[in-house]
């Protein structure tokens, strides 16, 4: 039962978010060998000015050992 949570800046339409969720769910089901009906996807918007404190510092850095796809940027400022 994979659950995937995507965090992004605001500005995408509901149609864009729905399409993204569908594609991510399909890819996860195929890669993990599970039924598509078992996959859930949440998309949460985070304001750009809050990204470092709400995502980078609290989720990306502490969970670096669990990241299978690491970001190609840093938030060192």
Give pLDDT, residue 76: 81
Residues 10-69 have pLDDT tens digits of 999 999 999 999 999 999 999 999 999 999 999 999 999 999 999 999 999 999 999 999
CB burial of residue 39 (10 Å; 0-12, 13-18, 19+): buried
Superfamily covering domain 1-45: Macrophage Migration Inhibitory Factor (3.30.429.10)
Active site residue 62: no
Count Cβ atoms below 10 Å from residue 44 Cβ, excluding itself: 10
The CA-atom distances, in angstroms, between 54 and each of 29, 38, 44 are 28, 28, 12
Give pLDDT, residue 77: 60
The residues spanned by each domain of the chain are 1-45, 48-77
Estimate the share of the chain in helix, then strand, then coil, as percent rounded to the nearest 5: 50, 15, 35
Catalytic residue among 2, 10, 62, 71: 2
- Which residue shows structure tokens 């938030």? 75
């Amino acid at each position: 039962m994979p659950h995937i949570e995507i965090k992004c800046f605001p500005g995408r339409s509901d149609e864009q978010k729905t399409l993204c969720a569908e594609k991510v769910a399909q890819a996860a089901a195929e890669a993990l060998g599970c039924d598509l009906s078992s996959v859930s996807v949440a998309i949460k918007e985070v304001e750009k000015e809050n990204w470092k404190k709400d995502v980078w510092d609290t989720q990306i850095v502490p969970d670096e050992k669990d990241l299978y796809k690491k970001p190609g940027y840093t938030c060192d400022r």
